[in-house]
Each structure stands twice: as structure tokens, then as C-alpha cells.
Structure 1
Amino acid sequence: MSTHRYHQHFTVSWDQLHRDVRELCHRLIERDFKGIIAITRGGLIPAALIARELNVRLIDTVCIKSYDHMDQGGLELLKGIDHDGEGWLLVDDLVDTGRTAKAVSEMLPKAHFVTIYAKPDGKPLVDQYLTEVAQDCWIQFPWDMGVAYVEPLVDQAKR
């Protein structure tokens, strides 16, 4: 993690992620989507949860590799989509600087683009998001974390 760029931390638990996805789905429930396109890899789990909540069975992916993800280096398209996104829901976990969002939006200009979390630089590039976080906030997603034992305070104090 780049220390010069992030001054805040926001840890998202599995429960919190599920609650947030369900809340976003309440805002999408009246729409009828042909399918969902997940932006890999961050969009895979939110897309699966959204697919369940909206009862969507057709799911595709856009696969983009970002080099030097801490400093948002170059992007390489590994797998695209052969249509313009008309009638599709495009899903990612987060829009940060907007570089990935811009590239995918240009590929799928007619898709309805949603993210669970959005930072100020990227939020103009998505159609909907649930929660705004500060640009200098590092979001720790549950799939990047493990459960670890923490010593009781009394044992820590004895050292």
C-alpha cells in the first residue's frame, strides 16, 4: 500500500458488503437487465450478489489487468465484450481514479454502470453508486483479508 496516497482506512466486512449490495439492489429492482457484466476481479463478488438479488442468470466479464495497482499504472484488456452494453448492468466494487471505469465505459457506453463504493475522482464516470469515500481512503475488502487471532489486552500489557 502506497503510504503517500492513502491517509484513511475503511474496512468492509462480508456482512457490510452484503448489506451494501442489497441496498444498491433496492435502487435497481425496477429495472430489467439482459444480464450483468462484472469487471474483474473486484466486480466478481458484488456481481454474484447482485445477480442473486435481482434474479439475473446471464453473467459475463470484462477482464482488465492494471499494472502497479497502487499507483494506477497502465491497463491491459485481457477479455472484452462484443456489444455496446445496451440493456446490461456493468458492475465493479469501486471506482477510484476512474481510469479503469473510463476504459470500460468507452467499450460499453450503453451499459448501466454501478459500483458499491465511489471516490470523488471516479464517481462522475458511473451511473449509480451506494457509498462515497474520500479519495485518500484505502478500502480493505473482505476478500483481501483473513481472520487472525488477537491476544487479549491483558496479555499484551504484560509484555
Structure 2
Amino acid sequence: MDISFKKNLKCTDKEIILNWNDIDKLIECICRKIKIKLENVLKEYEIIAITNGGIIPATIISYSLGINIINLFPIINKKIIHEKMPFFDKTKRYLLIDEIYDTGKTFKKTSRCLKLINHLDIFLVKRYNTNSSNNQIYGKILDDHRWVVFPWEKTVIN
């Protein structure tokens, strides 16, 4: 991701407002990284989308990578809905997709549930540069405290 990306973002005092062009750039960057990391085994992967914010990015990434199966990881208002949890096959490989790595709370909850399956964590953006494992791919580190608004969300009117 080039350095001009952050300069071109629409921002207010309280928000970073991403548009669809920003999302396209982030997904292009992520897909390039995924293809490099998984080049020979990519066709073996399925997608798991976090339902709070990962469904739209997961769908776009699935089209970009040619992955047809998207599973939903049911989270509503930051709570896992265990009775809606699908079965994840321990012999398969997954891309776990969410829109943002913010505080890490959602990530920690999902990781506990998915600790026995082989998955790679994908985020459009990370709020801050945290210790990342080799098992994470992201489009951009924002290094900014402001609320991130994605184009599929409503902006807060000040």
C-alpha cells in the first residue's frame, strides 16, 4: 500500500471515512499478499466471514480469489451466537475475514472458538501496529485513534 493512501483518506476530527475506492485498494493489496503466501494451496481454502463487519469484504475477496464457499461466524453486538455457529472441519483451511482489527477483543473471541482449525486471519485495516503473527494479513495499518467508517456503514453527523 503506498504512502499516499492515508493522505487521500477523507477524515474529520472524529472519523476516518473510507470510500469504495479505498476498499478496492485495500482488497487488491490483501489479495496480492494472500496469493503470494498461499499460491499453491489457495484453492483448498474456504472463507469464514465475521458477521459484524466481515461479510462484505469476505464476499469481495471471495470473488477476487475465486473462493466459492463463505461460512458465517455469528457475532452480534460483539457477542458470539454459539447456537448459530456452523461446524468447521478441522481438515480444511480457512481465511477468517473481518473489516478491522481494532481493540483485538473480537479477534480473541473468535480465536478461542477456532483454535483447532487451520486459518489465516485477514483484516482490511488494523487500527495500530500490534504484534502480528505470520498468520495475519491486512491491507493497511492506520495508526490513528479516530473511528473508522466503512462505505457500507452510516457516518456520524456532528
- TM-score, normalised on structure 1? 0.73
CA drift of 1:113 comes to 0.7
CA drift of 1:18 comes to 1.5
Tell me which structure has the larger Cα radius of gyration.
Answer: 1
Q: Name 2:10's counterpart in structure 1.
A: none
Q: Name 1:114's counterpart in structure 2.
A: 122
User: Unpaired runs of 5+ in structure 1?
Assistant: 1-6, 68-74, 147-159
- Summarize the Cα distance change of 1:121–1:102 in structure 2 as closer, same or farther, 3 Å threshold: farther
Q: Deviations over 1:31-90 (max 9, x none)?
A: 5142101001310110011001100001110011226xxxxxxx2425323226641100
Q: Name 2:151's counterpart in structure 1.
A: 142
Q: Name 2:111's counterpart in structure 1.
A: 105
Provide the secondary structure at the position in 1 that maps to 2:81: strand
Which one-letter code corresponds to 1:119 in the other structure? R
Q: Name 1:152's counterpart in structure 2.
A: none
Q: Distance in 2 between matches of 1:92 and 1:122?
A: 16
- Summarize the Cα distance change of 1:76–1:121 in structure 2 as closer, same or farther, 3 Å threshold: farther
Provide the secondary structure at the position in 2 that maps to 1:49: helix
Q: Name 1:22's counterpart in structure 2.
A: 28
- TM-score, normalised on structure 2? 0.73
Q: Pick from 42, 53, 65 the counterpart of residue 53 of structure 2.
A: 42
Q: Name 1:128's counterpart in structure 2.
A: 137
- Summarize the Cα distance change of 1:108–1:93 in structure 2 as closer, same or farther, 3 Å threshold: same
Q: Distance in 2 between matches of 1:25 and 1:142?
A: 19
Alpha-carbon RMSD: 2.5
Which one-letter code corresponds to 2:152 in the other structure? W
Q: Distance in 1 between matches of 2:151 and 2:112?
A: 29
User: What percent identity do the matched residue pairs reach?
Assistant: 26
Q: Distance in 2 between matches of 1:27 and 1:124?
A: 15
- Summarize the Cα distance change of 1:84–1:127 in structure 2 as closer, same or farther, 3 Å threshold: farther
The correspondence of residues 46-125 of structure 1 with structure 2, limited to 5 A, is 46-66=57-77, 75-77=79-81, 79-83=84-88, 86-109=92-115, 110-120=118-128, 124=132
Which one-letter code corresponds to 1:62 in the other structure? F
The number of equivalent residue pairs is: 134
- Summarize the Cα distance change of 1:94–1:122 in structure 2 as closer, same or farther, 3 Å threshold: farther
Q: Distance in 2 between matches of 1:119 and 1:84?
A: 31
Q: Distance in 2 between matches of 1:92 and 1:80?
A: 16
